[in-house]
Amino acid sequence: MSGAALERVFREASGRIVGALAARFRNLALAEDVFSEACARALEDWSAKSVPTDPAAWLYQVAARAALDGLRRRRTHARFECQLSADFDTDPADLDDEAVIPDERLRLIFICCHPAVGVDARAALTLRLVCGLSTLEIARAFLVSEATMAQRLTRAKSKIADAGVPFELPAPRFWPERLDAVLATIEIAYGKAHEDAAASGPHAHFAAEMLELTSTLVHLIPDEAEPAAVAAMVRLAEARRPARIDSRGLMVPLSEQDPQRWQRPLIDEAIGYLNRASALRPDAVRVIQAKIHAAWCSRRTLQSPPPWPQVMSLYDSLLTRRDDPIVRLNRLVAVAEVHGIEAALSELESLDGGLLRHFAPYHAVRADLLRRLGRAADARCAYDEALLRTSTHAERKWLTRQRGLVLEPQS
Amino acid sequence: MQYALLIYEDETLYGPGKKGPAIQEIVSRHMAFNRELGAKRVGGSGLAATSSATTIRTTRGKHSVHDGPFAEAKEQLGGFYLIEAKDLDEAIAIAKQVPVLQDGSIEIRPVLGPG
């Protein structure tokens, strides 16, 4: 087996094995350490001999044995003994014939995404433990050094251990809040992948992990609308990836993307998830958001009119569920097309600029409206503000080109 | 596990020296909450106004005595509970029921275990 194939086995096995170990030993750091140890052993063993028929089961067994050995050594420390004896007594016997790894991924997801863990750390921890990405890969996506990310992950694991984050699945009364934290985490993690429109950067393959993670979540929580809505959203966004950048590396705005370059199979899959979500709770926030993506993806060619009226009315219903400046800003883009640029600009100027000032899209939308109204100087200023806050290459190139389209006022 | 629930509120809501009418209201709500907690309550108390606070500061082994609380802030430590909870989720559920007059924060801190 090649190095890359091994990497893939390790990555795919990570969520299930670390989840099962964490549930069993109630210790995230230990679970992660012994899994790494098992992977290192596998690299030696499998190249010397052959790859076992069930590599994941092999990894789980080796990791679990390493954990038990470690704990037995520590058992001499009396303090640990009383806490751990219960774990030893319950299942050491079935260790050797452990053929099936219990699926504890949902537990692991809930632990990593506990609201008591900082929001960025949650996303990083989920990518590390559930998706099996390396610390280096995650560090690159979050634009921090590997050492900083390692520290952040360690801190998150200590918080979970020290604060007493439960290793049981949350009781039903905690679900709404807890599930929201999980979904927000997935959105942040996918956001990291989505930022990289060209899919050439280090976060590119996150996207695949997010497709996998969301389908797992829907499989594990079939009766909730929002996991299915997030699964749909991730797919709809991902389907558009091939059309998001033009041949010169410029970002292509949604309404100018060629729908024929979108990935139909992903869209079809997404619609399946969306229908399911919509049947469960048609007016949930994330369901409406997914419908907005779906409205766009229902466009078949560049010649057919963009679905602006539909998009605007979906934003209207989203506003009744969640009224925040970002939703209002997104809605304005549709308002400009439906009710005209003047109307959109006057609404935009009435938004709370204090909150939006730090948000690049606010300046980009404003610049676009000003440019189209012929207010050259104001438009240029707004483009500069947007450029100041935009880091991705394709977007910068696009903004720069748009800025160049500003016409000099006739004098 | 045992957790401390530290209650932060703007104490001016309770009048000068925390002796205004609102204090009666919050005290009776805390008493009701105490009864509800039952054996899960290990300890706790309300605290007098920060105007009564004295802080002993130690710098390089030297003590100095100061008037006032450790830190000036918009919300001050006004009381605490020590509770027994199965895990953080239970502690969070209990903390959400701690009465506060208007806005406020409850900080949940696991207590250090013995040794």
Domain boundary among A77, A100, A123: A100
Whether B93 has its CB under 8 Å from any CB of chain A: the answer is: yes
Cβ–Cβ contact B74 with A under 8 A: no
Per the CB < 8 Å rule, is B87 touching A166? yes
Highest mean pLDDT among A242-251, A307-316, A350-359, A383-392 belongs to A307-316
Number of domains composing chain A: 2
Question: For residue A399, what are the domain limits?
Answer: 339-411
| pLDDT for the residue A199 | 55
Among chain B residues, the shortest Cα distance to A160 is held by B88
A163: chain B residues, CB-CB within 8 Å: 88, 108, 110
pLDDT band at A76 (very low <50, low <70, confident <90, very high): low
Whether A190 maps to a domain, the answer reads no
Within 8 A of B89 by CB-CB distance, chain A residues are 165-166, 170-171, 174
Asked if residue A172 belongs to a domain, the reply is no
Task: Measure the CA dihedral B21/B22/B23/B29, to 10°.
Answer: 130
pLDDT in tens, A255-311: 999 999 999 999 999 999 999 999 999 999 999 999 999 999 999 999 999 999 999
Residue A21: band (very low, low, confident or very high) from pLDDT cuts 50, 70, 90: very high
Query: Mutation test of the interface with chain B: which of A113, A174, A178, A179, choosing the one with the most B Cβ atoms within 10 A?
Result: A174
In tens, the pLDDT along A127-182 reads 899 888 889 888 877 778 999 999 999 999 999 999 999 998 888 777 778 898 89
Chain A contact set for B86 (CB, 8 A): 166
The residue to which tokens 């994330």 are assigned: A286
> How high is the pLDDT of residue B14?
94
Q: How confident is the model at residue A1 (pLDDT cuts 50, 70, 90)?
A: low
Residue of B nearest to A173 (CA): B93
Which residue does chain A place closest to B2, by CA atoms?
Answer: A164
Residue B23 phi/psi, 5-degree rounding, is -65, -35
**Is 70 exceeded by the pLDDT of residue A208?**
yes
Tell me the average pLDDT across B14-38: 93
Q: Is residue A192 part of a domain?
A: no
Q: Name every chain B residue with its beta carbon within 8 A of the beta carbon of A173.
A: 93
pTM of the entire predicted model: 0.77
DSSP string computed for A23-37: HHHS-HHHHHHHHHH
Confidence at A318, pLDDT banded by 50, 70, 90? very high
Phi, psi of A393 (to 5 degrees): -60, -50
Across the interface, whether the CB atoms of B88 and A163 are under 8 A apart is answered yes
* In a domain? residue A165: no
For residues B51 and A398, give the distance between their C-alpha atoms in angstroms, rounded to a whole number.
59
ipTM: 0.82
A87 inside domain = yes
pLDDT of residue A90: 40
| A221 within a domain of the structure (yes/no) | no
Residue A373 lies in a domain: yes
Q: How much is the pLDDT for A77?
A: 59
3-state secondary structure A292-307: HHHHHHCCCCCCCCCC
Residue A375 included in any domain: yes
For A111-120, A223-232, A294-303, A329-338, which range has the lowest pLDDT when averaged over its residues?
A111-120
- Lowest model confidence (mean pLDDT) among A39-53, A188-202, A331-345: A188-202
Chain B: nearest CA to A115, how far in angstroms?
10
Look at residues A46, A74, A100 and tell me which one is the last residue of a structural domain: A100
Q: Which of A162, A166, A174 shows the shortest C-beta gap to B110?
A: A162
Write the CB contacts of A165 (distance below 8 Å, at least 6 apart in sequence): A111, A114, A116, A117, A159, B87, B88, B89
| End-of-domain residue from the set A83, A100, A117 | A100
pLDDT, tens only, B56-99: 999 999 999 998 898 888 999 999 999 999 999 999 999 999 99
Q: Do A149 and A131 contact (CB within 8 A), yes or no?
A: no
Q: Tokens at residue B85, please? A: 């909870």
